[in-house]
Structure 1
Amino acid sequence: MPERHLRLAAADEPMILLLLAVAAGLLAGLGRAWWGGRRLQFPALRLEWLVLVAVIPQVSAFYLPVVRDIFSDWVVAIGLVTSQLCLLTFVWLNRRQPAFWLMGLGLFLNFLVITLNGGFMPISPEMASRLVPTVLPEAWAIGSRFGTSKDIILPIHETQLWVLSDRFFWSTPFTSYRVAFSLGDVGIALGVFLWLWALGRSNLTHLQEINLEKLKTIPE
């Protein structure tokens, strides 16, 4: 596979769905708060530094040309799985936050399929060619990384839990940007959007939900 195709493939792998979810969620939350004459209310989260610990290896391995080429595939795989574990721990510790259960479900689905497929997210040759139309499906090397991304090229019949792999496709209107994503990615994006939307709610609603959670813990 020509190097230029590998770089192009890697360039199509940023977390566009997550970025869109953050942008849309912030706008929705701000709009909700503005409509009620309030400000966004960012809650205190437990062990926020786990998010930074989780993001650093992914950014280093997938997006920084200076360092990503020096990491072997097994190091990248370990880093990706460790990153997922950090995020799962963070979400579990903050599971009472609105929509964190949905984020956690999405993270767990991704963690499951990545772990069962050697530490990388599987993507079929056919889907890879949808992302890079200049490369035929049979030209991809089975078992190789998809560029410098988190994905690994695997045919459907060799993929563990194919239903959870990067099997969905989306292209942005009026551009040539293409992205493949998984069911877990959808859960994460929806969870992020709903959490940010919830930040615009009233203090009264928030206090009512806290009191309800406390009542559930009181033995009858």
Structure 2
Amino acid sequence: MLLESIILAILIGFLVGGKLNSLFEINLKGLELLFLGALLQLFAFWSVKLHLEWANYWVIPFSHSLSYLLLMGFTLKNRAYRSFSLVALGIALNGVVIVLNGGLMPVDPAYLPEASRQLLQAGTGTHGILTDSTRLKMLADILFINIPVLGKQLFSLGDILIDLGMGTFIVMQMRRSENRPQ
């Protein structure tokens, strides 16, 4: 849901008189951490999607967990931007529940289509099925919304904080004429 939240934030930014150019003038630190973290998440996602041989081994959970460490480093380097504290908290909550559950984000199977549920039960992917032994269940993907066109979306408390933080950051930066940390 992060992409949808970013698009919504840009639209809100326009509605409150912001300028898209302002987003290109931001001086973020540690972009390499952001790109490496995103790359590891893409690696995990596509390894599973393409049914690559290592997808069911420790490589995916490890790369998934490591991506959150890198993303946390990126947010900490940019903590001068006030809204990044929400992003950092969201990443920390997601990262903790993922690490404590073997590198997989637990997901409530009640909201999943049957095909997705079967894949998760087979141990495939970056998500795992929420069970009685799941640690920190309240931080798992247990929240659900059905969005027209996009369909069912599962998300966590951490996802909400990340989306709110990024959305606030984008709107605030679009409204600034000088892009100093705020």
Q: TM range, normalised to the smaller chain?
A: 0.7 to 0.9
Question: Which ranges in structure 2 are unaligned for 5 or more consecutive residues?
Answer: none
Distance 1:79 1:190 in 2: 25
- CA deviation digits over 1:59-97, x for unaligned, max 9? 122136785523233100110111000000000010011
- The 1-side partners of 2:150 and 2:20 are apart by 39
SS of the residue aligned with 1:63?
helix
Report the TM-score when normalising by structure 1: 0.71
State the partner residue of 1:85: 69
Question: Secondary structure of the equivalent of 2:174?
Answer: coil
Q: Does 1:131 pair with 2:112?
A: yes
CA 1:21–1:161: 2 relative to 1, 3 Å = same
The partner residue of 1:151 within 127, 131, 138 is 127
Contact 1:84/1:107, CA 8 A, preserved across alignment? yes
Distance 1:65 1:74 in 2: 12
Give the alignment partner of residue 42 of structure 2, picking from 59, 64, 67. 59
Q: Show the counterpart of 1:95.
A: 79
Change (3 A) 1:64 1:177: farther
1:184 equivalenced with 2:166 (yes/no): no
CA spacing shift, 1:90–1:152, aligned 2, 3 Å: same
Which structure 2 residues correspond to residues 4-15 of structure 1 after superposition, within 5 A?
A: none
Aligned counterparts of 2:21 and 2:29: Cα–Cα separation in 1: 22
Q: Residue in 2 aligned with 1:40?
A: 22
State the secondary structure of the residue aligned to 1:40: helix
1:22 and 2:6 are equivalent in the alignment: yes
SS in 2 for 1:122: strand
**Residue 170 in 1 paired to residue 145 in 2?**
yes
Aligned-residue RMSD, C-alpha: 2.8
For residues 186-218 of structure 1, give each alpha carbon's deviation from its aligned partner in whole angstroms, at most 9, with x where no partner exists. Answer: 1001111100001122447x66x76xxxxxxxx
Structure 1: distance between partners of 2:177 and 2:48 = 45
Paired with 1:165 and 1:29, the residues of 2 have a C-alpha distance of: 30
Percentage identity across paired residues of the two chains = 28
TM-score (norm 2): 0.84
The runs of 4+ residues in structure 1 deviating greater than 6 Å are: none
Task: Work out which of the residue numbers 49, 56, 64 in structure 1 matches 2:32.
Answer: 49
Unmatched runs of 5 consecutive residues or more in structure 1: 1-16, 211-220
**2:105: which partner in 1?**
121
Q: Counterpart in 1 of 2:95? A: 111
Q: Which amino acid is the alignment partner of residue 151 of structure 1?
A: H
- For 1:113-136, what per-residue CA distance to the aligned partner results, in whole angstroms no more than 9, with x for missing partners? 11111111112333xxx220x47x
The alpha-carbon distance between structure 1 residues 170 and 63, as it changes in their structure 2 partners (threshold 3 A), is farther
